[in-house]
Amino acid sequence: MIISNAVVCDVNGEYKSDIRIENGVITELGSSLEGADITDAKGAYFLPLLVDTNVRLHDSILNSKNIKTISEEAYRGGIGHVVLNADSKPAIDNEVVLEFAQNGLHNINGAKIDLMLNSMKEDSTLSNIAILLKSGAVAPYMSTIAKNDVAIKIAEYVQMYNVTLFCKAEDNSLIKSGVMLDGDVSSKLGLAGIPDLSEVLHVSRMIEIARHFNIKILFKSIASPRSIFLISKAKEDGVDVKCEVSIHHLTNSDEACEDFNTTAKLDPPLASASDVELLRAALKNKEIDVLTTLHQPSSPVNKEVAFYDADYGCEALSDAMPLYYTKLVKTGLLTMSELVKLTSLNPAKSIGMDSGEIKVGSRANAFLFSTDVTKEVKNEQSLYNGEKLSGEVIKIF
């Protein structure tokens, strides 16, 4: 197979080229390649498939049907590899649930699905991290609800197995009392707020744990510019900590919650308008390492209720690449090559895998993306419902 007239783009830059693929492997890059089976890209991008390590199932319910749906939706958005969150129902915190989830990975036709493990059980005791990692989970997940003694034990396991700890920074006593960011908008709506200190305090704490044990931490779905500042300073000190931010927190503020819009009820909560500008500046300054769709679909019965009672989350997986392109590349915040680094190379590294490069000899885990198409989002569970997004995934390789 030959793809002609494409713009090859990976972490090393972009250039016009034809691509020859044989038995799923890229065997030649060049101009005017000849062969029997030719697909004319017509100037579309040829990009590495994206990787998203922060995805939840429908209503967080762990079953084979929901896993299959996620796999197919991811492909539509240009995502070829998904890591499911461990805090599902049931949570992936023991061998029985892990095996049950792994059985659901058979016969999926879309994106590859991997599983993270929940380091803590519901009673806040440790799960069997060693067994779960040996059984195929790709990374341990920990909420900073964990007390110091438990967090330290988790860090010791992470150190022992040399994996990345996926860490959600949150304060149990603060997140239980609120439903959105504590600020002017929450006051206006009469809704209990969650201060951004809930995140910042625990980012600081986990940085010191990472420093002490010399472990790798990827902070999941960061929403506070102060947290990013702390992570950046720790990097300068040689601490191996990374920062993940969702597309929603870079493009929407807590003002999206006005009129009690439950689609904008996210976890972590959307930041203030001034903080969104700071988050965008951090992205521009290369202080953010990983991007995510923070996909968390819910049934209408769980979203079309009072804001206080509504589930957290919105849908974005099937619109991933058009969202990233429209909101970040087309606006000049990122180049396409920088986007590939944040959505393919870096998230893949966090689970010990390679992605983000298009080169001879590598697997053709890639897709064609046309920027000439504009489509309206028609999904009431999307923050972008009714908006027109540029770009379309036209073929997966």
pLDDT of res. 107? 87
pLDDT of res. 35? 87
pTM value is 0.97
**Which helix H or strand E contains 248, and what residues bound it?**
helix 247-251
Residue type, 85: N
pLDDT of res. 36? 85
> Coil, strand, or helix at residue 134?
helix
pLDDT of res. 177? 82
Q: Is the dihedral of CA 301, 307, 311, 316 positive or negative?
A: positive
What is the DSSP annotation of 6-60?
EEEEETTEEEEEEEEEETTEEEEEESS---SSEEE-TT-EEEEPEEEEEE--GGG
pLDDT of res. 319? 98
> Coil, strand, or helix at residue 178?
coil
- From residue 226, give the alpha-carbon distance in Å to each of 71, 107, 207, 230, 247: 34, 43, 13, 6, 18
Query: In this structure, are strands 366-376 and 13-22 parallel, antiparallel, or unpaired?
Result: unpaired
Considering the domain 48-352 in this protein, what is its CATH number?
A: 3.20.20.140
Tell me which residues of the chain have a pLDDT lower than 70: none
